[in-house]
C-alpha cells in the first residue's frame, strides 16, 4: 500500500502546494480522497495514470476539495476509461456533481456511480474496506478510514519441516481450512499466521469532534486537517478547522502511530512551525508536502 500526497494546501494554493488530494494504491484499487483543482496534473507529475483511479471519496463539496473532478472525469473519457467510476460523498453529492457536469458541453464518456453516504462501512472490497464518520465543518462533511483486511500467511518454517509441497494444500490452509498430509492432520493454527491490516484515517476540514476520534482510533497513519497554528486557535474555531496542536492531540489520544498534517493556510510560508506545534504533543508528526510518498 502506498500513499501519495498530491495536494496539501488549504483554500488558496501556493507555488509549492496544490489543493487537497490524497491517492492510495493497493492491490488493484486506486483510492482518491478529495479532488482539488489541478489534481490530474499532480497525478501526471507523480507518475500515476489517471486510469488507475477506481474510487473517489469526497469529504465535502467546498471548491478546494472538488474543483478537479470535472477535468479528471473529462480526461478519463479521452483515455477510454472502461471501469465505472465510483464517487462517494455526503448527502447532496449527486446534485452537486450533476450541477458541475452541466457546466461543460463535453459529453461525459464514462460511467459514473455516485454513492451518498452517512457513516459506518461505505465500501467493502476484497482486500480492504472504507468507513465514514461525520465531521464538524460547514455543511455535510465526512471523514474516512481505509482499512486493509487481515491476511493469512503460510508459516514457511513449519511447512518445510513437514515437507508439504506448494500447491492446493497450501491454498486450503491459506483459506483457513485444515488439511491432511501423509496421514497427519495439519491445523490452520500451526501452519499459518495472521498479518494484521493497516489503517489509514483521513480527517478533512473539521473541529475536534467524536467522528474524528472514531476514524483516528488506532490508525497506522492519520492524515489530518491542520489549517492553523495553535496561536490562531480562535480563528480556527471561527472557521471550524483544526490547529496543528489539535491534530497532534487527536493522534495522541486516538493511539495513532503516525500523523501527517495537511490543509495548511497559505499564510504559512513554511509548515515547519505547524509541524513543531503538533510535535509538542505528539512526537511522530510530519508536515506533508506535495508528492510525498509513504509506503506501508
What CATH number does residue 18 fall under? 3.60.15.10
Q: Domain end: 193, 222, 247, which one?
A: 193
Domain co-membership, 84 together with 134:
yes
User: Tens digits of per-residue pLDDT, 231-253?
Assistant: 999 999 999 999 999 999 999 99
Residues of the chain with pLDDT under 50: none
Whole-model pTM over 0.85? yes
Q: Is 234 a catalytic residue?
A: no
Determine which one of 64, 225, 277, 290 is catalytic. 64
Q: How far apart are CA 9 and CA 53, in angstroms?
A: 21
Domain co-membership, 66 together with 175:
no
Q: Domain end: 160, 193, 226, which one?
A: 193
Domain co-membership, 108 together with 232:
yes
Domain co-membership, 60 together with 179:
no
- How many CB atoms sit inside 10 A of residue 238's CB? 10
Domain count, the chain: 2
CA atoms within 13 A on the CB side of 244: 28
- How many CB atoms sit inside 10 A of residue 227's CB? 27
In eight-state DSSP terms, residue 218 is T
Domain co-membership, 253 together with 185:
no
- The angle that helices 69-78 and 93-102 make with each other, rounded to 10 degrees, is 70
Whole-number pLDDT of residue 174 = 86
Q: Domain end: 193, 215, 246, which one?
A: 193
Contact between 217 and 249 (Cβ < 8 Å): no
Domain co-membership, 47 together with 67:
yes
Domain co-membership, 141 together with 161:
no
Q: How far apart are CA 127 and CA 195, in angstroms?
A: 13
Residue-range definition of the domain harbouring residue 175: 152-193
Amino acid at each position: 500500500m502506498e500513499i501519495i500526497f498530491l495536494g496539501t494546501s488549504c483554500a488558496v494554493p501556493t507555488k509549492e502546494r496544490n489543493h487537497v488530494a490524497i491517492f492510495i494504491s493497493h492491490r488493484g484499487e486506486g483510492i482518491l480522497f478529495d479532488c482539488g483543482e489541478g489534481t490530474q496534473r499532480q497525478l501526471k507529475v507523480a507518475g500515476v495514470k489517471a486510469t488507475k483511479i477506481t474510487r473517489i471519496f469526497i469529504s465535502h463539496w467546498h471548491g478546494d476539495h472538488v474543483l478537479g473532478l470535472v477535468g479528471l472525469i473529462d480526461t478519463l473519457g479521452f483515455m477510454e476509461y472502461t471501469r465505472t467510476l465510483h464517487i462517494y460523498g455526503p448527502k447532496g453529492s449527486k446534485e452537486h456533481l450533476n450541477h458541475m457536469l452541466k457546466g461543460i458541453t463535453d459529453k461525459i464518456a464514462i460511467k459514473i456511480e455516485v454513492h451518498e453516504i452517512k457513516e459506518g462501512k461505505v465500501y467493502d472490497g476484497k482486500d480492504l474496506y472504507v468507513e465514514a464518520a461525520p465531521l464538524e465543518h460547514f455543511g455535510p462533511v465526512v471523514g474516512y478510514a481505509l482499512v486493509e483486511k487481515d491476511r493469512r500467511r503460510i508459516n514457511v518454517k513449519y511447512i518445510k519441516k513437514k515437507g508439504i509441497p506448494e500447491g492446493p494444500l497450501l491454498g486450503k490452509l491459506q483459506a483457513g481450512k485444515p488439511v491432511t498430509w501423509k496421514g497427519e492432520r495439519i491445523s490452520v493454527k500451526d501452519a499459518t499466521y495472521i498479518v494484521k491490516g493497516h489503517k489509514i484515517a483521513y480527517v478533512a476540514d473539521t473541529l475536534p469532534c467524536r467522528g474524528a476520534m472514531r476514524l483516528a482510533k488506532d490508525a497506522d497513519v492519520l492524515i489530518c486537517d491542520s489549517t492553523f497554528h495553535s496561536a490562531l486557535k480562535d480563528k480556527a474555531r471561527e472557521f471550524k478547522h483544526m490547529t496543528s496542536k489539535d491534530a497532534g492531540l487527536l493522534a495522541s489520544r486516538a493511539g495513532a502511530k503516525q500523523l501527517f498534517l495537511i490543509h495548511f493556510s497559505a499564510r504559512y510560508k513554511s509548515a515547519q512551525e505547524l509541524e513543531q506545534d503538533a510535535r509538542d504533543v505528539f512526537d511522530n508528526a510530519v508536515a506533508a508536502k506535495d508528492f510525498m510518498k509513504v509506503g506501508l
